[in-house]
């Protein structure tokens, strides 16, 4: 049975707890419909706990193509849908943007489906780039598959590296099959990739979290073509999934979907490609 209850989470009151007896998802309607918890029932949270106001959970940030942040309202109205919750902005955001968000569980499964919809309810077209961010709990190992396509003389991999990031950072392994990121108490580093697989894996606390998302070949992604970005620091590792640069005419919608799945009793492997690949065999 899939249930929803209202209860506090840390210092946040009136949070919505979505449960199916296997996993729990906790959402705050007053924090931008931010997902604050995803984990097995009664066990650790795979997401960064809300110890700091903005560096936790799953959320979206909207930017113009020049990088300017579009501030969205924080309060949402919740309603029930089959298998989960739907949250909608109480009033349109800047430029007439309306954001709705669905979180759905499946009976007998750990899978959580997340669907964001952005609609232009205004009278003018809007050009924007959404960034869907998930701050993962500290201490884990993130694995992102690399392209294995044989492109002959043409390159088959693209990376972007932010200022201050050391390419010899011991937390990051630029492997043949995976890029691995071990979170540790060191200064921030950030990079992006043009990945083909549309998946990532996070090992932590004897659990494995698989994230899957759609990749749009040929689309104009931000930050030199990256469709997945990683920021790691002393606090946590954040997985950032941008959508391509989008022009929404009045009435147009943009949809972003993610599928999360948890597996129990899987130890975190060392920062080495072979054991990571063996742990993920058949999962990505």
Question: pLDDT-derived band of residue 75, with 50, 70 and 90 as boundaries?
Answer: very high
Task: Return the pLDDT at 95.
Answer: 87
Q: Give dist(CA 226, CA 6) in Å, integer.
A: 38
Q: Is residue 58 part of a domain?
A: yes
Out of 45-54, 57-66, 198-207, 266-275, pick the least confident. Answer: 45-54
Q: Is residue 65 part of a domain?
A: yes
Q: Which residues touch 142 (CB under 8 Å, ≥6 apart)?
A: 136, 180, 181, 182, 183, 200, 201, 202, 230, 232, 237, 239
Residues 195 and 147: beta-carbon distance below 8 Å: yes
- What would the pLDDT profile of 162-185 be if each residue is shown by its tens digit? 999 999 999 999 999 999 999 999
Q: Which residues touch 176 (CB under 8 Å, ≥6 apart)?
A: 146, 273
Torsion angle in degrees (nearest 10) through CA of 160, 162, 167, 173: -60
Task: Return the pLDDT at 284.
Answer: 85
Q: Is residue 140 part of a domain?
A: yes
Q: Is residue 56 part of a domain?
A: yes
- What would the pLDDT profile of 217-257 be if each residue is shown by its tens digit? 889 999 999 999 999 999 999 999 999 999 999 999 999 99
Average pLDDT of the segment spanning 192-205: 95
Phi then psi for 96, rounded to 5 degrees?
80, 20
Q: Give dist(CA 130, CA 38) in Å, integer.
A: 22
Q: Is residue 284 part of a domain?
A: no
Residues 32 and 100: beta-carbon distance below 8 Å: no
* DSSP-derived 3-state class of residue 206: coil
Q: Which residues touch 205 (CB under 8 Å, ≥6 apart)?
A: 43, 44, 46, 137, 139, 140
Residue 277 reports pLDDT greater than 90? yes
Phi then psi for 274, rounded to 5 degrees?
-65, -50
Question: pLDDT-derived band of residue 53, with 50, 70 and 90 as boundaries?
Answer: low
Tell whether pTM > 0.85: yes
> What is the number of domains present in the chain?
1
Q: Is residue 154 part of a domain?
A: yes
Question: pLDDT-derived band of residue 151, with 50, 70 and 90 as boundaries?
Answer: confident
Task: Return the pLDDT at 147.
Answer: 86
Among 128, 65, 117, which Cα is nearest to 94's? Answer: 128
What is the rounded end-to-end Cα distance, in angstroms, of the chain?
Answer: 28
Q: Is residue 35 part of a domain?
A: yes
Average pLDDT of the segment spanning 19-28: 97
Across all residues in the chain, what is the average pLDDT?
94
Which range, 48-52, 131-135, 220-224, has the best average confidence (pLDDT)? 131-135
Domain CATH code at residue 121: 2.70.98.10
Q: Give dist(CA 38, CA 137) in Å, integer.
A: 11
Q: Give dist(CA 88, CA 78) in Å, integer.
A: 7
Task: Return the pLDDT at 121.
Answer: 95
**Residues of the domain holding 176:** 3-279
Residue 52 reports pLDDT greater than 80? no
């Amino acid at each position: 049975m899939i249930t929803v209850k209202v209860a506090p989470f840390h210092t946040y009151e009136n949070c919505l707890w979505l449960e199916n007896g296997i996993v729990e998802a906790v959402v705050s309607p007053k924090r931008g419909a931010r997902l604050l918890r995803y984990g097995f029932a009664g066990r650790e949270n795979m997401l960064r706990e809300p110890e700091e106001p903005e560096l936790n959970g799953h959320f979206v940030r909207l930017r113009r193509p020049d990088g300017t942040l579009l501030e969205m309202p924080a309060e949402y109205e919740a309603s029930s849908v089959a298998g989960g919750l739907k949250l909608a902005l109480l009033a349109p955001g800047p430029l007439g943007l309306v954001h709705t968000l669905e979180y759905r569980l499946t009976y007998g499964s750990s899978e959580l489906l997340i669907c964001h919809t952005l609609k232009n309810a205004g009278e003018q077209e809007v050009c924007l780039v959404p960034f869907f961010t998930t701050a993962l709990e500290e201490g884990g190992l993130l694995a992102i598959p690399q392209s294995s396509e044989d492109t002959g003389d043409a390159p088959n991999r693209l990376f972007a590296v932010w200022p201050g990031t050391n390419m010899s950072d011991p937390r990051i392994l630029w492997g043949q099959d995976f890029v691995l990121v071990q979170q540790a108490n060191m200064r921030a580093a950030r990079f992006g990739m043009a990945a083909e697989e549309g998946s990532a894996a996070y090992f932590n606390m004897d659990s494995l979290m698989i994230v899957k998302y759609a990749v749009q070949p040929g689309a104009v992604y931000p930050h030199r073509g990256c469709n997945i970005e990683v920021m790691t620091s002393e606090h946590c590792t954040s997985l950032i999934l941008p959508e391509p640069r989008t022009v929404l005419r009045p009435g147009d919608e943009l949809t972003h979907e993610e599928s999360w799945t948890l597996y129990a009793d899987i130890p975190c492997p060392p920062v080495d490609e072979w054991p990571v690949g063996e742990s993920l065999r058949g999962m990505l």
